Structure 1
Amino acid sequence: MNRMKRKKPPAAAVQAPVAVGQLVEADVVGIGHDGEGVGRTRDGYTLFIRGALPGEKVLARVEHVKKQYGYAALAQVQVQGADRVEPPCPIYAECGGCQLQHLSYEAQLRWKRQLVVDALERIGKLTVQGSGAAGAGADGGSEAQAGGVTVHPTLGMAEPWRYRNKAQVPIGQEQGGLVGGFYAQGTHRIIDMDDCLIQHEKNDDVVRKVKRVAGELGIRAYDEGTGRGLLRHVVVKVGFRTGDVMIVLVTNGEKIQRVDELLGLLREEIPGVKSIVQNINTVQTNVIFGDRTVVLWGEEYIRDYIGDVQFAISARSFYQVNPVQTEVLYGKALDYAGLTGGETVIDAYCGIGTISLFLARQAGHVYGVEIVRDAIADARRNAELNELSSRVTFEAGPAEEVIPAWRRQGVSADVIVVDPPRKGCDAALLSTIGEMAPRRVVYVSCNPATLARDLRVLEDAGYRTVEVQPVDMFPHTVHVESVALLVWNGK
């Protein structure tokens, strides 16, 4: 006789000790990856509270709850933390462009180092020298423990404002005319602004004038909801050293009404403008650029320098947005490469050749690979511009395919440099690096989590992570770049 199995009664849902809309007290014990304060209620429940800082006691209004944590809005700071400062930007509370203006710059640098340390330890399973003192000490880890990875204090800026050489501003339509600025955090609602403290002053000036001139000529902004309207984004690129200005008008269609008048007024009102470009994007998407770009007036490129290396920058070229700190970052990569003049170097994810050309002046030969064909064309042009064509070879394609092909042709690297996007290195590339076993790997990273993941893979393949240098490329935001040095240990 078959017995029917009794169904277990459903488990009672675990209830959070707070409710949406409730006003609660919380002690703030840390900062989350997105810059929110990590608060603990009296019941031990975790709340992520934007604008709250470690060491503070706050009153927060609960906005969203899950079983183990929730999100809340800062209502009142009852006990202020030692690192709190007054944000200088008048729209900081609304705008999503910056997340850390309320935290002193010295504390930002300490926190960014700790982000890297935490990722290396938790994700990479690496031992970090002095990590126990990293969160509290001003030097971020001078109490070294033997045998671990050295994570240096974050290299910051003497003047951490007005550092961005590129603005990408969405344009909207209001009754009074065109508006443009960053999106409010977590939304696509444009916060209109005329002055951004992390942008170069020329970027602000150009965006202000484009909004006014285009509005006066009756050019309407693109509407995400209806798919109608023309002007989607204004992108401005400025050469810090040269003063060159490029204006890119991203449009929902080819035809710009009264285009000759628009070009004439922009040329008349914007000093240093060298290039006015139209990029056509008719797809309903969050991606800024479309596939087609047309020069409306002037040159296809502007020029700028990193150190004494000159670069030609097109409308869609990837070029680091903080040239001051890029020189610091690439200088550290060059130090870690340890070049003496005869080495063969492979630069994976080479982009327009920025790191490759830095390395080429001190290496025997540099091979650069990049999947974006337009970037490789720019890299070759930049090599010619700096009279380094004979010392570099650039090829378009996936690094995990091109590098093995070079290997079959007899290329053997002494140093491999990788500078991947936020998702990190392709697994096949990491495997290829392990097989080639260059004596040094220099890893430039914009994401501590994927850096730590990839370092673990390389360690398991026979490398030892010696040191990591965080660099603050984006002050007042939650982003941090790092350069890591790995040496071949053998197996």
Structure 2
Amino acid sequence: MAKSIAPVKKNEYVTLTFEDLTHEGNGVGKVGGYPLFVPNGLPGEEAVVKVIKVNKNFGFGKLIELKNISEERVDPTCHVHCGGCQLQHMSYNLQLQMKQNQVRNVMKKIGHLEHVPIHPIIGMDNPFHYRNKVQIPVGEKDGKLITGYYQKRSHRIVEDLDTCSSQADEINEILPEVKKIANRIGIEAYDEENHRGVLRHIMIRTGYATKETMLVLVTKTNKLPGKEILIQELTDKFPNIKSIVQNINDQRTNLILGEKTKVLWGEEYIHDKIGELTFAISAKSFYQVNPVQTKVLYDKALEYAKIDENDVVIDAYCGIGTISLFLAQKAKKVYGVEVVPEAIHDAKANAKLNEMNNVEFVVGQAEKIMPEWKREGLDPDVIVVDPPRKGCAPEFLEAMIEMEPKRIVYVSCNPSTLARDLRILEDGGYRTNEVQPVDMFPNTTHVELVALMSRE
């Protein structure tokens, strides 16, 4: 069989017109039917492109010059090339279209779910300053601390960064002040190469509704020089800071947080509200980073669950109990299961905080706990699942099918693994009724979804 030959060569310059977008937001143009994927290209634009990589069936290019500019192109609010907000060059309307198309494509290609209604994606009125948490690496340049994100596929800090158009205003105010004080009192940055120094990361979390803020200083060392001055100056200037925490990570690792955490000042938790519920958030808690859209997402999950006061519900991958407590507002009983012990500790605290007695939290793997519940006679009406990006383990999907709930509500941050898992559940006797995309992360390629399934 003759080997196909690409009509372009590496380092060649070509002129093409972008026809489409990939799920990563790259422009797709063709040369003699051969697709080139080019970052920052938008459909309808003609451009000069340098070919930088050639594969058998497709290649990659670099945008050199635009011959014409799409009406959907906008001037980015941020010109720091950290790789976080990949879609700032396109209008918000086009971003939503791109994500809608991505969901539709994976449902068809991966899930073979052509029958499923996919509702229009729910976007934000203001797609900026929505993030309630930052974890930013600390480095050193010219003898001074700098903060900034790593360049794509590297551990080199792009440039000194104080503010970010995706972060909450409170975070943008506090971060540069932390850096300024740390520089003045001589806190040394961690040197990853030599495994020396002190300050590795700065984490700031803030409550959207309460404005309560937590500062977490991730250090290599137990000792934090000048911490009394740092605490005094920050708390004097920012009365909304309710907690200052030190996390110690003395390992050579890419993981941000270490095992040991100690409160230097204030409380162990800050609080936030979603709807009528209040949540206590610790340094290590998983809590959705976009509280405005979290309320939208959880309201939709609750709507899909269709629960009443007689229903028993299982919330798998329950985290600190955010979805569980939303469900418990309507259900007879909610059982939450989560593999992280600290999360279950926080979930129980949140149930107590909201005076909810109809919810029970258990530490363990859902695929192992659920068959035990089945043997004990637990017969859920609804199962809600919100797994990590890799989706559900096959054993867990099998356990769900065997429990035979009337409805499954699947919350997902990855359209591809959602489509794969919906296919397995469909083959196990369920039907996907509808899918609702929600834009939790504007200006990025990520999209959140909630799907409703019912037993046939």
| TM > 0.5 | yes
Greater displacement, 345-354 / 275-284:
275-284
Among candidates 73, 76, 94, match of residue 87 of structure 1: 76
Whether 1:126 aligns to 2:118 is no
1:225–1:345: structure 2 CA closer, same or farther, 3 Å change rule? same
Aligned Cα root-mean-square deviation (Å) = 1.4
Among candidates 467, 473, 490, match of residue 440 of structure 2: 473
Number of the residue aligned with 2:399: 432
Greater displacement, 343-352 / 286-295:
286-295
CA distance in 1, matches of 2:57, 2:259: 44
Secondary structure of the structure 1 residue equivalent to 2:400: helix
1:225–1:63: structure 2 CA closer, same or farther, 3 Å change rule? farther
1:147-197: CA deviation from partner (whole Å, max 9, x where unpaired): x21100000011111100001111110016111122233332223222211
Secondary structure of the structure 1 residue equivalent to 2:67: strand
Whether 1:420 aligns to 2:387 is yes
Amino acid at match of 2:14: V
CA distance in 1, matches of 2:434, 2:387: 19
Q: TM-score normalized by structure 1?
A: 0.90
How many equivalent pairs are there? 455
1:261-310: CA deviation from partner (whole Å, max 9, x where unpaired): 22222222323111111111122222111111111111100000011110
1:414-433: CA deviation from partner (whole Å, max 9, x where unpaired): 00000000000111110011
CA distance in 2, matches of 1:12, 1:95: 42
Amino acid at match of 1:71: F
Matched-pair contact (CA < 8 Å) for 2:25–2:98: no
Whether 1:19 aligns to 2:6 is no
Whether 1:254 aligns to 2:222 is yes
1:455-478: CA deviation from partner (whole Å, max 9, x where unpaired): 000000000001000000000000
Amino acid at match of 2:110: I
Deviation of the 1:14 alpha carbon: 5.4
1:184-233: CA deviation from partner (whole Å, max 9, x where unpaired): 33332223222211100111112111111111111121122222221111
Greater Cα radius of gyration, structure 1 or 2: 1
| Unaligned segments of structure 2, at least 5 residues | none
Number of the residue aligned with 1:103: 90
Whether 1:39 aligns to 2:9 is no
Amino acid at match of 2:35: T
Amino acid at match of 2:34: Y
Deviation of the 1:13 alpha carbon: 6.8
Secondary structure of the structure 2 residue equivalent to 1:151: coil
Matched-pair contact (CA < 8 Å) for 1:166–1:237: yes
Amino acid at match of 1:68: N
Deviation of the 1:86 alpha carbon: 1.6
Greater displacement, 300-309 / 173-182:
173-182
1:63-108: CA deviation from partner (whole Å, max 9, x where unpaired): 22222222222111112223212212232xx221101111111111
Amino acid at match of 1:60: V
Among candidates 156, 160, 174, match of residue 127 of structure 2: 160
1:465–1:60: structure 2 CA closer, same or farther, 3 Å change rule? same
| Unaligned segments of structure 1, at least 5 residues | 1-10, 128-147
CA distance in 2, matches of 1:457, 1:234: 41
% identity of equivalent residues: 52
1:213-254: CA deviation from partner (whole Å, max 9, x where unpaired): 111111121122222221111000001111111000111121
Alignment of 1:311-326 (within 5 A): 311-326=279-294
CA distance in 2, matches of 1:302, 1:253: 25
Matched-pair contact (CA < 8 Å) for 1:471–1:482: yes
